[in-house]
Amino acid sequence: MPDLPRQIRLAAGDYYMHAQDHKRRRAGLPGYICRVALRLEDGLDVDRLRWRVETSPVLDWLARMRLTRPLLVFPAFWRASSRPGPIFFEHNHQDGNGHEPGVLPPEVLERDLHASRGPALAFDLVRHADGTRHLVLSWNHALMDARGAELIWLHLNDGNGGNGAPSLEDLIHPKQRGGSLAEWWRNAKLARGSVEWLRKSGSEPLFSLLPEKRTAGPHRNQYRIVTFSAEETARIAARCERLNAGFRRSHFLLAGTLRALHTVATRRGNRDGAYLIPVAHDTRRRSAKGPIFSNHLSILFFRIEPQQAGSLTSIISELSRQMMDQIRTRFPESCMAALEMFKPLPLNYYMHHLGQPTRSKFATLCFSDSGETCAGMTEMLGGRIRAVDHLVPTWWPPGLTVVFWSFSGRLSVLLSWVDDCLSVSEVDALEQGLRSAVLEEKVS
Amino acid sequence: MDSKTIAEQLCQFARKNYVADGADFDENSPLAKAGIDSFALVELLLYCERTFGVSVPDSHLTGKNLASVATLANCIAELSRSSDSSP
């Protein structure tokens, strides 16, 4: 592997995620630390795993990266620290087992990873009393996105004894190694469209789950994972086809989520508050092996009026129309150009600018559909993978994030919320409404 | 405009924008496996609008028409013929 750079530019998405991390911490929540947990049967070669983690030049480099801003007048950048710090931890856990999602010890679930202090990623191997294991990769979202984490699993699981290490191009996007001032002017021109669009679509009334007055903390980010059986997943796929949304599975799942949320919102008395939803898209090519490092995303924003939110078919057709309009007007490029342009701003100004169009509400919920996760992986260094779980904290605001993914022919969904934004009975209603929206034929 | 020419151009567009370098992809490859998700599908449809002057209505976005580049090209060729023949 060639020499890895010691200093590198931030991608626009990195600074955005760093700002989300900052916002969460300011609201008294843990940082924006994502986790992917593999539930493993017995058979994992722990010595090989430990050796791979400790000797991988890619992981060593990632563990050294620190988000740095020595002076406020200069933009933040990534710099390699001379001390990577430990990233592999082992635990023996008596209470849980590898058959259930989310049964992880607090030292794993509450591990704090700071992009500035580093290391911004960690592996936790949890041995349960029954011989099953959880292998958890946790990372600060400023360091990389979920696809980057998936590529790390593939790198660790590579059967070539480390010879299959990613190339420099697979680790870092070439654009991040260069950069010019002329780009800033190009971005300024391109960004105008998205800023105007957001101002228009963020107009009041907007439905928000945030309490009008925050109750005394501490507040917690709660997680609930709902897994559909293989039979249910097949039914969902068939229903998606019948609604002519086979290629627009994300729209179908978002429509189901919105329909369920609309029920909760109506119970809260929402009459005219629209639902605003940012949806991030991975900009890498399918089956590309990189880049691992940084956030490579573009964003689409959807606004659904409450009059449309009662019917799956009308939500799907509205989402398709808005997506077509946004891509036609190059909204995703414009949005990323805006983020690139605002990147040199100090964090508080940056958040103030981004929050302006929606008067700091940002969105009603965050949504993502990762599609097939860890595609083609059936085992991790000898341990059969029973399931993969994503634990993604929610942005605050809006206080609710919904993430879908599939593994081994089974669809799962994560509901991630802050406890003062939704009550447990509302989350129950959301789960029930979501299940019936995606599964039941009588729900239109 | 024949469907073969359309298929060739669509393949070129998909290779340039979605398919990873070195991955096998031709007009008969399943679209879903070539990296065509909802986002890419919209870009592909907008490319059809710009290049061939054909808008594909929602009702034509069926599993059958979106099975591969070849089936999508057939659908576009047919839509183009019907719009040419209409008064």
What pLDDT is recorded for position A436? Answer: 94
Q: Cα distance from B32 to chain A (closest Cα, Å)?
A: 8
Contact A286 B61 (CB under 8 A): no
What pLDDT is recorded for position A163? Answer: 46
Contacts of B32 in chain A (CB under 8 A): 247
What pLDDT is recorded for position B78? Answer: 92
> What residue in B sits closest to A252 (Cα-Cα)?
B38
Domain coverage including residue B31: 3-82
Contacts of B37 in chain A (CB under 8 A): 247, 250, 281, 286, 371
Q: Could you say which DSSP state residue A247 is in?
A: G
Cβ atoms of residues A143 and A65 within 8 Å = yes
Arithmetic mean of pLDDT, A231-255: 91
In a domain, B64, yes or no: yes
Instruction: Quote the CA–CA distance of A3 and A9 in Å, as a whole number.
Output: 17
B48 touches chain A (CB under 8 A): no
The CA-CA-CA angle for residues A208, A357, A193, to 5°, reads 130
ipTM for the whole complex? 0.84
What pLDDT is recorded for position A340? Answer: 87
Instruction: Quote the CA–CA distance of B24 and A116 in Å, as a whole number.
Output: 41
Q: Measured between CB atoms, which of A281, A289, A317 is closest to B58?
A: A317
Residue type, B75: C
A324 touches chain B (CB under 8 A): yes
CATH number at residue B67: 1.10.1200.10
In a domain, B47, yes or no: yes
Tell me whether strands A297-304 and A379-380 are parallel, antiparallel or unpaired: unpaired
Residue written as tokens 């839509």?
B79
The pLDDT profile of chain B, 87 residues, written as one tens digit per residue, is 788 999 999 999 988 888 877 778 888 988 877 777 888 888 889 999 999 999 988 888 888 888 899 999 999 999 988 876 665
In a domain, B87, yes or no: no
Instruction: Quote the CA–CA distance of B60 and B64 in Å, as a whole number.
Output: 9
In a domain, B14, yes or no: yes
What pLDDT is recorded for position A207? Answer: 95
Instruction: Quote the CA–CA distance of A67 and A150 in Å, as a whole number.
Output: 22
In a domain, B16, yes or no: yes
What pLDDT is recorded for position A165? Answer: 58
Q: What is the Rg, in whole angstroms, of the alpha carbon atoms belonging to chain B?
A: 12
Contact B63 A317 (CB under 8 A): no
Cβ atoms of residues A107 and A93 within 8 Å = no
| pLDDT tens digits, A318-364 | 999 999 999 999 898 899 888 888 888 999 999 998 888 888 888 99
Instruction: Quote the CA–CA distance of B84 and B87 in Å, as a whole number.
Output: 8
Contacts of A259 (CB under 8 A, 6+ apart): A309, A310, A311, A312, A315, A433, A437, A443
Cβ atoms of residues A261 and A439 within 8 Å = no
* pTM recorded for the entire structure: 0.92
Instruction: Quote the CA–CA distance of A236 and A252 in Å, as a whole number.
Output: 9
B44 touches chain A (CB under 8 A): no
Higher local confidence (pLDDT), A105 or A89:
A89
| pLDDT tens digits, A152-205 | 998 898 754 444 556 767 788 777 655 566 777 777 788 888 888 888 888 889
What pLDDT is recorded for position A164? Answer: 52
What pLDDT is recorded for position B37? Answer: 82
- When scoring A154, A239, A243, A247 by the number of chain B Cβ atoms within 10 A, the one with the most, hence best to mutate, is A247
For a pLDDT cut of 70, what percent of chain A falls above it? 93
Instruction: Quote the CA–CA distance of A412 and A404 in Å, as a whole number.
Output: 6
- The H or E element spanning position B43 is helix B38-52
Number of domains in chain B: 1
Decide: helix, strand or coil at residue A128: strand
What pLDDT is recorded for position A180? Answer: 61
B16 touches chain A (CB under 8 A): no
Q: Cα distance from B8 to chain A (closest Cα, Å)?
A: 20
Whether residue A101 has pLDDT greater than 70: no
| pLDDT tens digits, A28-74 | 899 999 999 999 988 899 999 999 999 999 999 999 999 999 888 78
Contact A323 B39 (CB under 8 A): yes
Instruction: Quote the CA–CA distance of A416 and A366 in Å, as a whole number.
Output: 10
